[in-house]
């Protein structure tokens, strides 16, 4: 397989994929190349996209690769209304932020920080596949330890948790309405 054919195969796979794919998965699909070559092909494709003024790039997300529209062109995608969205209330976002920054922690730990019962918000986050039980605490009743999921990284466009913004960078003075966030809802097929 020539390098051009490898690029075409990689571009085709990432264009139609509805989730992130790891370099290892891509090497298995394409064959005839290794993960280092995949990363080189991605760099070459992105350079080509930039030179030709394309509105998309291949990004590293959650230990994988995915094709994304550049932020300044997302308004055109929204007009298609092909993506269902969910709204996360300020209480759910607060719980998600606590889990993201303090994980792993128990429901009691979350409730200690928030000062209110969080069972409903945790259940909502688990339904949206943003949070999961990552282990069990060695206490009576073996309470679950909550952590974020790979889907959380994908939704927020992070390669790993180290890329979360520092707490000092966040604007805590925004009204609750401005902090409300719409996220893509997973399709029923997945």
CATH code for position 175: 1.10.10.10
Beta bridge partners of residue 64, listed in sequence order: 61
- The model's pTM: 0.59
Tell whether 121 is covered by a domain.
Answer: yes
Q: Cβ atoms within 10 A of the Cβ of 5, count?
A: 11
Q: Which of 65, 94, 72, 54 is nearest to 157 (CA)?
A: 65
Tell me, yes or no, whether 96 and 67 share the same domain. no
**Cα 29 from chain centroid (whole Å):** 23
Tell whether 164 is covered by a domain.
Answer: yes
Roughly what angle, to the nearest 10 degrees, separates helices 90-102 and 107-114? 120
Assigned token pair, 10: 């990689």
Domain span holding position 124:
85-184
Cis peptide leading into residue 104 (ω within 30°): yes
Considering 78, 104, 126, which residue would you say is the last residue of a domain? Answer: 78
* Per-residue model confidence (pLDDT) at position 54: 92
**157, 69 Cβ separation under 8 angstroms:** no
Tell me, yes or no, whether 101 and 180 share the same domain. yes
Taking the CA of residue 117 as centre, how many other CA atoms within 13 Å lie in the half-sphere pointing to its CB? 3
Tell whether 8 is covered by a domain.
Answer: yes
Tell me, yes or no, whether 100 and 50 share the same domain. no
Tell whether 189 is covered by a domain.
Answer: no
Tell me, yes or no, whether 49 and 95 share the same domain. no
Tell me, yes or no, whether 51 and 138 share the same domain. no
Considering 51, 78, 105, which residue would you say is the last residue of a domain? Answer: 78
Tell whether 173 is covered by a domain.
Answer: yes
93-143 pLDDT per residue, tens? 999 999 999 999 999 999 999 999 999 999 999 999 999 999 999 988 899
pLDDT at 188 over 80: no
**14, 7 Cβ separation under 8 angstroms:** no
Tell me, yes or no, whether 149 and 93 share the same domain. yes
10-44 pLDDT per residue, tens? 999 999 988 889 999 999 998 888 889 999 999 99
Tell me, yes or no, whether 14 and 93 share the same domain. no
Q: What is the mean pLDDT of residues 66-95?
A: 79
Q: Which of 58, 81, 63, 65 is nearest to 19 (CA)?
A: 65
């Amino acid at each position: 397989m020539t390098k051009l054919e490898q690029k075409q195969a990689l571009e085709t796979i990432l264009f139609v994929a509805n989730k992130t794919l790891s370099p290892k998965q891509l090497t298995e699909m394409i064959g005839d190349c290794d993960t280092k070559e995949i990363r080189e092909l991605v760099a070459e494709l992105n350079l080509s996209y930039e030179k030709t003024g394309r509105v998309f790039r291949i990004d590293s997300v959650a230990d994988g690769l995915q094709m994304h529209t550049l932020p300044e062109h997302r308004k055109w995608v929204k007009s298609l209304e092909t993506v269902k969205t969910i709204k996360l209330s300020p209480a759910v976002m607060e719980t998600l932020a606590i889990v993201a920054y303090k994980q792993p922690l128990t429901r009691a730990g979350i409730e200690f920080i928030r000062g209110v019962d969080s069972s409903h918000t945790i259940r909502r986050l688990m339904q949206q596949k943003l949070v999961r039980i990552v282990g069990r605490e060695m206490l009576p009743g073996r309470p679950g330890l909550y952590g974020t999921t790979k889907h959380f990284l994908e939704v927020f466009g992070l390669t790993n948790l180290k890329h979360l913004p520092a707490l000092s960078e966040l604007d805590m003075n925004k009204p609750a309405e401005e902090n409300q966030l719409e996220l893509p809802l997973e399709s029923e097929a997945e």
